[in-house]
């Protein structure tokens, strides 16, 4: 016997469904399809969300993820909402990154201008020193 059974796995997956609402998974086909999809993701390089032993098969890992509630099956509506939330968060993050980059560029430009201004001041001081030396040499010659 396979553990957990289809019935047990479906019970766990549908546990959070509200009363009166259609369950997330209502057939063996749905649970097998969702588990197989996750197993393909793992084969494709996705990192498992649960502890596993080396050599454990991707399908076993996917079943364990669902049974341990590390992975959630979403309805199409829930998936759409989550996708919109992720897109919005990504947009906000990118805007903030652009603001920070602009602030950093402005700060770097300001610091560079200060360095250049300091160098110009140093050059002016050197010119004054050179003029004093010339004046001193001229007065010595007289």
Higher pLDDT, 67 or 13: 67
- Please tell me the total count of domains within the chain: 1
Higher pLDDT, 60 or 13: 60
1 pLDDT more than 50: no
Residue 50 lies in a domain: yes
Residue 140 lies in a domain: no
**Cα 88–chain centre separation:** 13
Q: What is the pTM of this model?
A: 0.56
Residue 23 lies in a domain: yes
Q: What is the pLDDT of residues 59-85, one digit of tens each?
A: 999 999 989 988 888 778 888 999 999
133 pLDDT more than 90: no
- State which residues form the domain around 64: 1-73
Residue 109 lies in a domain: no
The half-sphere exposure of 58 on its side-chain side, counting CA atoms within 13 A, is: 14
Q: What single string gives the DSSP state of each residue in 119-135?
A: HHHHHHHHHHHHHHHHH
Residue 135 lies in a domain: no
Q: What single string gives the DSSP state of each residue in 52-104?
A: --TT--HHHHHHHHHHTTSS----HHHHHHHHHHHHHHHHHHHHHHHHHHHHH
Whole-number average pLDDT of the chain: 82
Residue 16 lies in a domain: yes
Residue 107 lies in a domain: no
Residue 64 lies in a domain: yes
């Amino acid at each position: 016997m396979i553990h957990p059974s289809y019935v047990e796995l479906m019970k766990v997956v549908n546990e959070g469904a509200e009363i009166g609402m259609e369950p997330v998974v209502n057939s063996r086909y749905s649970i097998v399809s969702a588990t197989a999809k996750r197993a393909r993701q793992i084969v494709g390089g996705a990192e498992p969300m649960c502890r596993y032993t080396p050599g454990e098969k991707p399908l076993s890992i996917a079943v364990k993820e669902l049974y341990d509630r590390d992975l959630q099956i979403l309805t199409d509506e829930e998936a759409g909402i989550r996708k919109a939330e992720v897109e919005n968060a990504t947009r906000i993050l990118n805007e903030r990154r652009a603001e920070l980059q602009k602030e950093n560029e402005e700060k770097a430009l300001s610091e560079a201008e200060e360095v250049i201004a300091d160098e110009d001041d140093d050059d002016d001081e050197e010119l004054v020193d050179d003029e004093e030396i010339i004046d001193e040499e001229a007065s010595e010659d007289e």
